[in-house]
């Protein structure tokens, strides 16, 4: 069994939603017979010294840069690997409550991301922002249910990338949407081809996936 450390960053008004999402992801892995589980390792605090203020069309926003998040996740993963030495685990995943931004190294502007990944010394950090998935839900009666499904698909997408899967064109969580409505209609799981690649990656760690259109 392989584990991915799971945490969250930021202030969530509905913390139960985080655990429900992680439980649903684990249920999916279990039902599909995949030897993979998320292992909750507690909330991760990123210090206020990392906070940046970004001017947007809607006014000033307080955000954490991705570089600070990756650094904090890397440190947390090293700590958890040391504390849980008997567990096979070299990846960490985080849901964050705020938008993800990173400063372009060549120009003075920030780019926004749904999710991001970075590998350092064989360890992989994965991050997914909740904010983009909250779009167009303000007046929905099923807001929480829809948001939960969106986030489960988002976690499966990032986990797939974490094990070498690329984007695909099938009805699959690895097929990124252009609009959130497409994401709502997307199948809750991996297509046959992506599932085979994920299963192979779990059976043969370190094996590079072949590129697929």
Number of domains in the chain: 1
| Measured distance CA(165)–CA(209) in Å, rounded | 7
Question: Which pLDDT band holds residue 207 (cuts at 50, 70, 90)?
Answer: low
Question: Is 33 among the domain residues?
Answer: yes
Q: What is the CATH number of the domain that holds 24?
A: 3.40.390.10
**150-187 burial: b if 16+ Cβ within 10 Å, else e:** bbbbbbbbbbbbbbebeebeeebbbbeeeeeeebeebe
Q: What is the pLDDT of residues 49-82, one digit of tens each?
A: 566 666 666 666 666 677 788 889 999 999 999 9
Asked if the structure places residue 122 within a domain, the reply is yes
pLDDT for 212 beyond 60:
no
Q: Residue 208 falls within a domain, yes or no?
A: no
Which entry of 158, 182, 203, 211 is annotated as an active-site residue? 158
Q: pTM of the prediction?
A: 0.86
Please state the separation of Cα 183 from the chain's center in Å: 15
Structural domain including 143 reads 2-203
138 is catalytic: no
pLDDT tier, 147 (very low <50, low <70, confident <90, very high otherwise): very high
Question: Does 212 reside within a domain?
Answer: no
* Per-residue pLDDT tens digits for 87-103: 889 999 999 887 776 65
Residue written as tokens 């072949």? 210
């Amino acid at each position: 069994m392989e584990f991915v450390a799971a945490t969250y960053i930021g202030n969530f008004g509905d913390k139960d939603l985080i655990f429900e999402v992680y439980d649903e992801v684990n249920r999916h892995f279990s039902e599909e017979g995949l030897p993979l589980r998320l292992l909750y390792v507690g909330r991760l605090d990123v210090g206020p010294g990392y906070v940046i203020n970004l001017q947007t069309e809607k006014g000033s926003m307080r955000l954490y840069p991705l570089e600070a998040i990756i650094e904090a996740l890397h440190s947390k993963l090293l700590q958890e690997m040391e504390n849980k030495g008997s567990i096979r685990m070299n990846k960490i995943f985080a849901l964050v409550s705020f938008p993800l931004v990173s400063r372009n190294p060549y120009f003075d502007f920030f780019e926004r991301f749904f999710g991001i990944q970075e590998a350092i010394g064989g360890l992989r950090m994965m991050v997914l922002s909740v904010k983009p998935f909250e779009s167009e839900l303000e007046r929905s009666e099923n807001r929480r249910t829809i948001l939960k499904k969106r986030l489960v698909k988002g976690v499966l997408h990032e986990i797939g990338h974490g094990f070498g899967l690329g984007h695909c064109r099938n009805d699959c969580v690895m097929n990124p949407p252009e609009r959130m409505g497409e994401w709502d209609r997307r199948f809750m799981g991996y297509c046959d081809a992506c599932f085979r690649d994920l299963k192979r990656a779990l059976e043969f760690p370190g094996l590079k996936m072949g590129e697929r259109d």
